[in-house]
Chains A and B, each alone.
Chain A
Amino acid sequence: MLPVLAEANSLPQANIPDIQWLPLIPHIVMAGAAVVLLTIVSVAGRWLPGWFASAWTAAAGLAVLATAIPVWIRVDQEGESSTIAGSIGVDQFSVFIIVLLACSVVLTALVADGFLHRESLDGPAFYVLLMLSAAGGITMASANNLIVLFLGLEILSLAVYVLVAMHLRRAESQEAGIKYFVLGAFASAFLLYGIALVYGATGSLNLADIRLRQGGWFAYAGSESSSTDAGMQGVPEGVAMLSADNGLLLAGMAMLLVGFGFKVAAVPFHAWTPDVYQGAPSPVVSYMAAGVKAAGFAALLRVFFGGFLGVADDWQPVMFGLAIASLAVGSMLAIVQTDVKRILAYSSISHAGFILVGVQAATDDGVASVLFYLAAYAAMAIGSFAVITVVSGPGDEGTGLDSLRGLAARRPLLAAAFTVLLLSQAGIPFTVGFWAKFEVITAAVDARSFWLAVIAMLAAVVAAFLYLRIVVTMFLESPDADAPRLSIPRGPAVAVVIVVLFTLAFGIYPEPLLNLADDAWLNLRLHAH
């Protein structure tokens, strides 16, 4: 008997579900590290050195990384399962995203170290919120239940709202925080409404269960998809099948898509992105671009590919439209910006469009390409915003394009590193960004979305123009005579070195990362082992 149904049949008794602890350790470590840090600092704060919170956060991220590896190995050996009454999925897909989030936390902590000191914002609040937000992201990425997913999303979002408004003395930061909060609350409401409608249509909040109920007509949608076969097995008798034109389900899916579209900054739900990216403290932006986007796409894939694969024909065209809109708007509006953070905000919208190209394919290869893209983009985004953190100078004010003028003459290595990251974002060969685009386009072509592939590549050319604009400013223009001397703190320097090495190493030999993304199947299971 399925755990969920068992639970439903025996409501009067208190029924404690079986819990596998191993897959939950990364969740617990990330959330626990945040709470413990808060406790330690409030008790013993005055005796601790300045670097303590940053080091603690980095260590917590590494610990999550370390505890995620056994989960991966276990899933590899025993296959996917779920725990806590089927509400948390134990699969390599979620482990991949957990590792990605953990790495984002480590790198963001490195970037933030010098920044907080420079801006006199020292204190544990930033790091606590960062880890809490990542804990929410981890929950989102592994939720098999829509309510659990919503909880994860709220934990992630609330922490990020505060992070955005972190910069106490900067009005733009406050403004961005309010803007992000109001719009984000709207998006969450949409999401919740969508969950309610889906529940109304399917009678279940469990994604694996919802997928089973589409059994009658989803065999065709993923006939080449290996994960479908597993889903087909054991459709329980007596489970009511949904009809293909269930209006309630379609409306619910549309609402869910609004909520996720907001989180991943896809057009037309992108309007907050440039303002928030510009106003928020730069290290926070690097986390938003890498971590929040990854968590958002993970949730999007879990719900749509994991839960609604049976009605893929209904949502694929919508993803197609969102992808084209994001690619076009993101790359074109980026051209007319003069602020580097705004440029990269629009470019992140265009990257969201690229990732949606992989989502739209609705195949296992598409999911793998999305994961690869997310990993590549996380590295490029964190590195880019780390450079901006350093360049923008005291007050986080110097984010105009002209603050980069002649950077190659002032700080050649920093300029070279930024160039590598920008070229990677443009998808130039021998950088990881090229393979990200390669994988996504392969998935699109394989799903016979040729025109989407063509449009995506054209948008990539338009986007290349804006990356070149930044490169031109750094290399081909001479620095202002009164340009302040740039000091590069150790934390951001280490972070930039790591991501540049990542970008080049996997640019030359992407096989290991490709294999990991390929292995990270999204296969939702109702059962515990």
Chain B
Amino acid sequence: MGGSTVLPVIIFLPLVGAAAIALIAPSRATVLKPVAVATSAATGALTLWLMGAFDKNDGDFQFTQLTEWIGSAGISWHVGVDGISLFLVVLTGLLFPIAIVACDPPHDAKAYYIWMLVLETGCLGVFLALDLVLFFLFFEVVLIPMYFLIGKWGHENRKYAATKFFLFTMLGSALMLVGMLTLALLTARETGGAVTFNLIELANSAGELPTITARWIFLSFVLAFAVKVPLFPVHTWLPDAHTEAPTAGSVILAGVLLKLGTYGLVRFGLYLFPEASQYFAPLLFTLGVIGILYGAVVATMQRDLKRLVAYSSVAHLGFIVLGIFSINTEGIEGGLLQMVNHGLSTGALFLLVGFIYERRHTRQISEMIGLQKAAPVLAAVFTVVMLSSVGLPGLNGFVGEFLILAGAFVAHRWWAVVAAAGVILAALYLLWAYQRVFHGTPDDANRSMPDLNWQEKLVMVPLVGLIVFLGVYPKPVIERMEPSVNALIEHMEEVEGIESPTVGDRPEGSFEELRKLKADYGDEGEGH
């Protein structure tokens, strides 16, 4: 066993908390929540420490730990963090305590907190695993706690939604398992070495496989991630799962679980299959753009506020895929940044919708009116979060969307133009919904709605704070991502000899403004 032990501690701390909760006697139910909060907060603090200790000039994996696990099958315990996964880990570390503090389960509190903490371990494991099988194990095991969270603490149609969620995701990953095994076995055959599932070793021999084979394997991976993202047309589980999940479940589902898919596309799609990613980029690109427009149009037509937010995720995740498959520094950075942004803003939106539901016991937009008068603080927070989701300059959503569109414009100009329309549609559905729910004169049912209490205000503070901070000053995030993203692109060029189009390749002057803006937002420290 070698290397740093901080990552295993981060991964397994929530599990230890879950075990501790399992041992608490039923008579002492009041300590359940404090233990859950303390564990997840401690994990969150560790992830923040990790961010501080992270060497921002190093594009390689840091804090790695590698030890043999199932030697005969070439499977190892291999974890590490780089600029691509770092902020997803931090996001997970932040959202879990927030979700746990914000929402109390109506019944079976013990099982609820156990599943939440097991879920946290699973998510952290996915982001930190550097071995394909290890990644797959975490990727799959995340389904179980989420299944129970939706199925047991969800709304009316929860059993259907939970089962659909489980089966859809499992369908995708079933084929990925075959793809992983094929990749490892055929690579071993090509290189003449032993079978290994070590991500780094497989990536280094990524060019060895025959092109057609690699493309098939890539497709099996993409299907698994596309379901998770979710990419049009395999998104249909998402509205059901999000709508029926309890509030904390929706927050984690939108904030963290969807990122497992987009993260997988970067880490296991681009990194392992440079040629195939390039080959299929137009397809994924197009699906991303369809997702942006489709998600926006369908969101506009929703009568259920939570469902509206759920469909807005389809649109936002379409943007992220668009950025990733631009395959250039701007696009990928934008995609990564937008993963964090979406986690913050949509997580916050689900929390707010949950707060409204707790007070009004309805999610129907038509039954709510004039909430602004009854709950001004709630309305104010909702405004900020919604504008971040719309992509208003000065808030975090804008930075990510801008970088994505900049990257996409260079790679596939017309798709970027169409995708930009999605930004306008986002303004349409969110502002319209806001107007219907918060403006107007409240009727009797809505007039007496209480405003946010101190606990709810407390959990919104970090979310709103980060939304504003990342909108004004995203540099700390981008400068930590950049070396890893550049290393990824270099790796892709090295393996396949592909040329990634970048802003700088274009004739001088035509992107002057773009670069200037980008410098303002991200790279001012780099001397551009």
Contacts and interface: CB of A to CB of B under 8 A. Distances in A.
Interface of A: 423, 428-430, 434, 437-438, 441-442, 445-446, 450, 453-454, 457-458, 460-461, 464-465, 468-469, 472, 475-476, 509-511, 514-515, 518
A476 B178 contact: no
Contact of A458 (B140, B151, B162, B174): B174
A428 B148 CA distance: 14
A442 B181 contact: yes
B175 A454 contact: yes
A467 to B, nearest CB: 10
A511 B71 contact: yes
Nearest to A468: B163
A514 B75 CA distance: 13
19 contacts: A438-B181, A441-B181, A442-B73, A442-B181, A445-B181, A458-B171, A465-B163, A468-B147, A468-B166, A468-B167, A472-B151, A472-B159, A475-B148, A475-B152, A509-B69, A509-B70, A511-B72, A514-B73, A518-B72
Interface string B165-192: 0110011001101100110010000000
B141 A461 contact: no
Nearest to B172: A461
B72 A428 contact: no
Q: Nearest 3 CB-CB pairs, A to B?
A: A457-B174, A429-B137, A445-B181
A441 B159 contact: no
Contact of A454 (B71, B133, B151, B178): B178
B167 A461 contact: yes
Nearest to B151: A476
Nearest to A423: B144
A441 B182 CA distance: 10
Contacts of B181: 438, 441-442, 445, 453
Contacts of A460: 174
Contacts of A437: 177
A461 B178 CA distance: 13
A357 to B, nearest CB: 11
Interface in B138-170: 138, 140-141, 143-144, 147-148, 151-152, 158-159, 162-163, 166-167, 170
B136 interface: yes
A460 B172 CA distance: 12
B182 A445 contact: yes
A476 B70 contact: no
Contact of B159 (A450, A458, A476): A476
Contacts of B166: 464, 468
B141 A438 contact: no
Chain B binding surface SS class: helix
Contacts, number: 83
A468 B162 CA distance: 10
Contacts of B185: 442, 445-446
Contacts of A428: 140-141, 143-144
A325 B76 CA distance: 35
B289 to A, nearest CB: 29
Contacts of A469: 163
Given A468-B166, A511-B70, A441 B136 contact: no
* Residue of A453, A454, A461, A515 with most partner-chain B CB within 10 A: A461
Nearest to B138: A429
Contacts of A511: 69-72
Given A450-B182, A465-B163, A457 B175 contact: yes
Nearest to A510: B70
Contact of B170 (A438, A441, A461): A461
Interface in B16-72: 69-72
Contact of B178 (A453, A510, A514): A453
A450 B178 contact: yes
A329 B71 CA distance: 36
A437 B70 CA distance: 15
Nearest to B143: A428
Contact of A464 (B136, B152, B170): B170
Contacts of B178: 441, 445, 450, 453-454, 457
A476 B177 contact: no
Contacts of B71: 511
B175 A464 contact: no
A465 B167 contact: yes
Contacts of B148: 475
Given A445-B181, A461-B174, A472 B144 contact: no
Contacts of B163: 465, 468-469, 472
A434 B70 CA distance: 14
A514 B70 CA distance: 9
Contacts of A509: 69-70
Given A457-B178, A461-B174, A475-B152, A430 B141 contact: yes
Contacts of B140: 428-429, 434
Nearest to B170: A461
A458 B177 CA distance: 11
Contacts of A457: 174-175, 177-178
A430 B137 contact: yes
A464 B151 CA distance: 16
Contacts of A518: 72
A372 to B, nearest CB: 11
* Residue of A437, A442, A458 with most partner-chain B CB within 10 A: A442
A441 B72 CA distance: 16
Contacts of B147: 468
B149 to A, nearest CB: 12
B167 A464 contact: yes
A222 to B, nearest CB: 17
A515 B167 contact: no
Contacts of B175: 454, 457-458
A428 B73 CA distance: 18
A429 B171 contact: no
B156 to A, nearest CB: 12
A429 B136 contact: yes
A419 to B, nearest CB: 9
A475 B148 CA distance: 9
A423 B147 CA distance: 12
Contact of B152 (A442, A476, A510): A476
A41 to B, nearest CB: 45
Contacts of B137: 429-430, 434
A514 B147 CA distance: 30
A438 B152 contact: no
Given A429-B141, A460-B174, 4 more contacts: A445-B182, A450-B182, A453-B178, A461-B167
A133 B182 CA distance: 41
Contacts of B69: 509, 511
B72 A514 contact: yes
A14 B143 CA distance: 67
Nearest to A507: B137
* Residue of B147, B163, B175, B178 with most partner-chain A CB within 10 A: B178
* Residue of B133, B138, B147 with most partner-chain A CB within 10 A: B147
Contacts of B143: 428
Contacts of A515: 72
Contact of A475 (B133, B138, B151): B151
B25 to A, nearest CB: 14
Nearest to A462: B167
Contacts of B167: 461, 464-465, 468
A415 to B, nearest CB: 11
A298 B73 CA distance: 24
A351 B259 CA distance: 33
B131 to A, nearest CB: 13
A469 B167 CA distance: 12
Interface in B82-101: none
* Residue of B72, B167, B174 with most partner-chain A CB within 10 A: B174
